[in-house]
Structure 1
Amino acid sequence: MAQPAPDGPLTELDLTNSHLPSLEEVDLPQSLTSLDLTANRLRSLEPCLLALRGLRRLSLRQNLASDVAEVEALSCAPALESLDLRDNQLKALPCLAAFTALRYLEVSYNEVRSLAPLSALGGSQLTELYAACNKITAIESLGALSQLQVLELGGNRVRVLEGLASLALLQELWLGRNRIAEINDGLAALHSLKRLSLQSNRLTSMAGLQHCTALEELYLSHNGIEQLEGLESLANLKILDVSNNRILRLEGLDSLQLTDLWANDNQIESLDEVEAALRSQRGSMSCVYLRGNPCAAGTDYRLRMKFALPRLEQLDDSPVA
């Protein structure tokens, strides 16, 4: 939908779901600062688009673009703050050296294999980078992205947790559905990190999390973790998801004040031990998932959990009355 400024030229244009195979018959005035071309059939960034100089926000999500050279040729590069290329046919990242104002970059659901072109960003102000569901094998070339706050690399082929040392301001790191086998010191510099997802990897240990003292949400489901560890220093943690692992007992929670614990589908045997482990959470915990463990099989399970956690609102799939 076109949105002209009051008594002025057109600055925003939304052409979402317009089924456009081309822009030949579309009027794109030079006054545009925001252009949304989501869900069309564009294969090329045509001259009328390349010529726009004042764009600050451009979305080409869900199109058929494949030529990175066309992205690099955008005349708006020095002004562009937000670029959305999600769900196209890109096999590589464009060189973004000219995009000096860029703060938001979305390139998920393409066929990108390397983050190396990001090194051309230099002293970039980029704060959000989304590159999920590509074919990326390594976390690399992020050294200059010191302002980055959100990094999404889920659904790739990353094996080693590395290349993050310069991201001291990072607050969210999403690495689910990769091939990471250990944490080690890969997160040691991330003292501002609040949300971390390593779901569906190949972890057998939680060792290495102790450096992330600002963590509020931790997602580790669908791994091979056998015990809870390294939680003592995570005093800000509120949500812990360790479901679908091989955990035998709940432990190491005494220093935490969790609101949500997802520990379903593990191998936790004793409900007595669960009650003891959660005693420190009586004043905070409102949501617990333990189904799929032997400890949740007894007929008194639900009643005992309600008594153990007086603030409980959700137990497994059912609200607590």
Structure 2
Amino acid sequence: MKLTAMGQFLILIASCTHAVICSSNGNYTDRLSLLEFKRTISLDPHQALMSWNVSTHFCSWEGVRCSVKNPSRVSSLNLTNRGLVGQISPSLGNLTFLRILVLSTNSFSGEIPMSLGHLHRLQILSLQNNTLQGRIPALANCSKLTELLLGNNKLTGQIPVDLPQRLENLDLTSNNLTGTIPVSVANITMLQMFSCAMNNIGGNIPNEFANLLGLQVLRVSINKMSGQFPQPILNLSNLVELSISRNHFSGVVPSSIGNSLPDLQGINLDDNFFHGHVPPSLTNASKLHRIGISSNQFTGVMPSSFGKLSKLSWLNLQLNKLKATSRQDWKFMDSLANCTELSEFSVANNYLAGQVPNSVGNLSSQLQGIYFGGNQLSGDFPSGIANLRNLVIVSLPDNNFTGVLPEWLGALNSLQVVQLSDNFFEGIIPSSFSNLSQLMSLVLEWNQLNGPIPSSLGNLQMLQALLISSNNLHGTIPKDIFTIPTIVRISLSFNSLHAQLHADIGNAKQLTYLEISSNNLSGEIPSTLGNCESLEVIELGHNLFSGSIPALLGNISNLQILNLSHNNLTGSIPVALSDLQFLEQLDLSSNHLKGEVPTKGIFKNATALWINGNQGLCGGPLGLHLPPCPIMQSNSAKHKLSVIRKIVIPVAIVAIVDPQLLQELEQREDITMTIRDSGAQILQSVLSIGLCCTKTSPNERISMQEAAAKLHGIRDAYLRGN
């Protein structure tokens, strides 16, 4: 049936009316939902929601975008990194046209609203970097969801079995999730990135993961997973990143791994229990730029084919059982010369022996960190390192290196860390070290270095740690090191340093650790040490310090350990030390301290206090078992006793023996003045007792016991200042 012109017009009007009504309802619903969301925000430090008010259309509010096809319907809400504090309102579930919801990097707490599971148009849900709690809600109805990013929260429970099937990126990193990885995750065939790292997930990777042929990133590090190397991984030929570190995986890494994963760019197997040889096929994954297999039980020699990896920038083989005892075993070092982008290289804590080959100098000019510590390396300092001009860290501790430290080390002016402890280096500390303007840590402990500490080290204005204890250094401690504004830790113990500790120590305001024990330092401990209020540890024991303990040490409120033992300190223990609330250990033993021991603070803990070897100490808490301190009379008390002894008692005797003589004495002005000046009241009291003892009738006299009691009472009252 044909419609008339009027009928067509009416249908058109009705359609327009319906569209207007829908638009109006959508406008009202979305606006109210957003305002309800704003209401649950308790803090908006950057005023991100200032524009969310009735005077402007909500499609113009910050972070809000509306649909082009459906005007006045919210399609995107993006408030990332706005510093917002509060909870996510369930009202967001009413934004039925929402495609993108990004609230990442804020301080949202509480649970993820279940209502978000109703947003069937939602494509991206990003809530990572908040403090959200509770379980992951059911999101299976969000059938168009491609990105679910919930990392860095406090979510609990298990990974949901029923997840949206179009997911491409699923990030659950750094939560408190438990259980195992559901087999159903393998049904999400479009998945490209899966991360559940840094949780409490156990089990192994399901065999069904072999079906995820599009998977490019797999991160399950820092969990409780166990079992053999996950075999389904070998089927993921498009994998670019594999990280299964810090779990309990064991067994042998498949020899074909490099052939099976040709596109691999990063592999991290650190901190597991893998054993056997490092698979040579790894070098067939020619795109590899990061290899981490540290903290396992790999044995044998390192593959000499590493040089095939021209893009390799990070190679960490430390803490294994790898060996190199012959020149042939060191061929891997020769091949690494082809890795022109190598920036970090560690073979620390293995079984490498002998001399480091000169080919170390052919390593990449971009190399910034080289770590050879904890092996059995010997010979002189590796001369090839002189060619590595961009080195930031050189770490060779705990080896058998000998000879002197080369002056050319001071020419590597990018160095920030020099760690050479626990070797047999001898000779002096090169003065060229003062040229290392970027140096932050100089660690030369446990060697055989001699000579003085160069005062030029004070030029190192970025130095934080100077650790050169347990050597044969002599001379004085240069005051220049105390003026380094960044110095935090100084350790010079077990040397032969002498003379006084300079008062400039008080300039080291950032110093937290001072260890200069077991030297020959003398003189007084400078009171300026009390200005170093950041100190946590002071070790000055086994020196020749004299004088008293500075009371200003009580100003160091963060102090945890104070050791002044085995010196020649005198005087008393400052009461101020008892106010140090964080003090855990106090050793004042083997000095010449005397006087009363304080009774508060650390002094109440006999297990954390050492004061033996001081003959003159007394008092203190009962648990210290010290003798009581003698009662010392003040000069005022002594004077009062003298008055009683020289004047009052003789006069009292006169009163008792001859009352008439007393009356004659009272008439003499000089005697009367003496008595008045010495305390007329006490004299009157004593004379009264004397008269009571000399009454004519024996029945009226007081007994000697009563007289003695009254005299004792008068004496005590007078001594108290009566």
Distance 1:295 1:89 in 2: 47
1:149-185 C-alpha deviation (Å, 9 max, x unpaired)? 1110112313211041431110110010122231144
Match of 2:463 in 1: 170
CA contact (8 A) 1:221 1:242 kept: yes
- The one-letter amino acid paired with 1:9 is Q
Structure 1 counterpart of 2:543 = 245
2:313 equivalent in structure 1: 33
Residue 203 of structure 1: SS of its match in structure 2?
strand
Aligned to 1:235: 532
Q: Using the alignment, how far apart are the partners of 2:495 and 2:457 within structure 1?
A: 18
Alpha-carbon distance in 1 for matches of 2:469, 2:371: 21
Contact 1:37 1:59 in 2 (8 A): yes
Match for 1:53 among 307, 328, 340? 340
Partner Cα distance (1:94, 1:134) in 2: 16
Distance 2:409 2:386 in 1: 8
The aligned counterpart of 1:102 is 391
**C-alpha separation in 2, matches of 1:80 and 1:35:** 11
Aligned to 1:136: 426
Counterparts in 2 of 1:267 and 1:217: CA distance versus 1, 3 Å = same
8 Å CA contact retained: 1:282, 1:310: no
Residue deviations 1:37-72, cap 9 Å, x none? Answer: 335222425332332222221112242251452211
Superposition pairs for residues 139-154 of structure 1, below 5 Å? 139-140=429-430, 141-154=432-445
2:485 corresponding residue in structure 1: 191
Give the Cα–Cα distance (whole angstroms) in 2 for the partners of residues 195 and 58 of structure 1.
27
**Equivalent residue for 1:224, pick from 520, 528, 532:** 520
Contact kept in structure 2, 1:159 and 1:178, CA below 8 Å = no
Code of the residue aligned with 2:427 in structure 1: it is T
**Could you say what secondary structure the match of 1:119 adopts?**
helix
What is the distance in 1 between the residues matched to 2:389 and 2:576? 52
Identical columns (%): 15
Match of 1:83 in 2: 370
Q: 3-state SS of the aligned residue for 2:402?
A: coil
State whether residues 394 and 417 of structure 2, in contact with CA within 8 Å, keep that contact through their aligned partners in structure 1: yes
| Aligned residue number for residue 287 of structure 1 | 584
Give the stretch that moved more between structures: 137-146 or 228-237.
228-237
The SS at the match of 2:336 is helix
> Which entry has the higher C-alpha Rg, 1 or 2?
2
Alignment of 1:118-133 (within 5 A): 118-121=409-412, 123-124=413-414, 126-132=415-421, 133=423
Range 57-66 or range 3-12, more displaced: 3-12
**Unpaired runs of 5+ in structure 1?**
none
SS at match of 1:176: coil
Residues 256-296 of structure 1 show CA distances to partners (whole Å, capped at 9, x for unaligned) of 413320123445566xx11x2x5156144512332642679
Is the Cα–Cα contact under 8 Å of residues 584 and 602 in structure 2 kept in the other structure?
no
Preserved CA contact (<8 Å) 2:450 2:472: yes
Aligned to 1:9: 265
1:160 paired with 2:423, answer: no
Distance 1:220 1:289, change over 3 A: same
User: Contact 1:264–1:289 (CA<8 Å) still a contact in 2?
Assistant: no
Q: Is the 8 A contact 1:187 1:209 kept in 2?
A: no
Q: Which is worse superposed, 178-187 or 17-26?
A: 17-26
The 1:253–1:111 alpha-carbon spacing in structure 2 relative to 1, beyond 3 Å, is: farther
Quickly say closer, same or farther: Cα 1:305–1:281, change in 2 above 3 A: closer
Using the size of structure 1 for normalisation, the TM-score is 0.79
Report the Cα offset of residue 248 of structure 1: 4.5
The one-letter code of the counterpart of 1:41 is K
Deviation of 1:200 after TM superposition, in Å, equals 0.2
Aligned counterparts, 1:297-316, within 5 A: 304=597, 306-307=599-600, 309=602, 315-316=608-609
Change (3 A) 1:290 1:31: same
Displacement, 1:254? 0.8
Pairing 1:71–2:360 present: yes
Quick one: distance in 1 between partners of 2:407 and 2:481? 20
Q: Which one is further off, 54-63 or 193-202?
A: 54-63
Q: 1:314–1:197: structure 2 CA closer, same or farther, 3 Å change rule?
A: farther
Deviation by residue 1:75-113 (Cα, 9 ceiling, x = unmatched): x2x222211122422412435454344221112232241
- Matched letter for residue 493 of structure 2: Q
| Cα distance in 1 for residues equivalent to 2:606 and 2:583 | 5
Structure with the higher strand share, 1 or 2: 2
Preserved contact between residue 45 and residue 70 of structure 1 (Cα < 8 Å):
no
Task: Supply the AA of the counterpart residue of 2:467.
Answer: W
User: Is the Cα–Cα contact under 8 Å of residues 96 and 120 in structure 1 kept in the other structure?
Assistant: no
- Provide the C-alpha distance between the structure 2 equivalents of 1:45 and 1:65, rounded to a whole number of angstroms: 14
1:238/1:245 Cα in 2 relative to 1: closer, same or farther (>3 Å)? Answer: same
Cα distance in 2 for residues equivalent to 1:248 and 1:228: 5
Counterpart CA distance in 2 for 1:309 and 1:56 is 49
Structure 2 alignment gaps of length 5 or more: 1-220, 222-228, 230-238, 243-262, 267-289, 611-622, 624-722
Count of equivalent residues: 306
Q: Are residue 254 (structure 1) and residue 536 (structure 2) matched?
A: no
Q: What residue is the counterpart of 1:117 in the other structure? A: 408
Q: SS where residue 117 of structure 1 aligns?
A: helix
CA 1:284 to 1:30, structure 2 compared with 1: closer, same or farther past 3 Å?
same
1:220 positional shift: 1.1
In 2: Cα distance, 1:95 partner to 1:180 partner: 28
Alignment check: 8 A CA contact 1:239 1:261 kept: yes
- Coordinate RMSD, CA, aligned: 3.6
Written as runs of structure 1 = structure 2, the 5 A alignment for 1:192-207 is 192-207=486-501
Match of 1:264 among 554, 557, 565: 565
Question: What corresponds to 2:234 in structure 1?
Answer: none
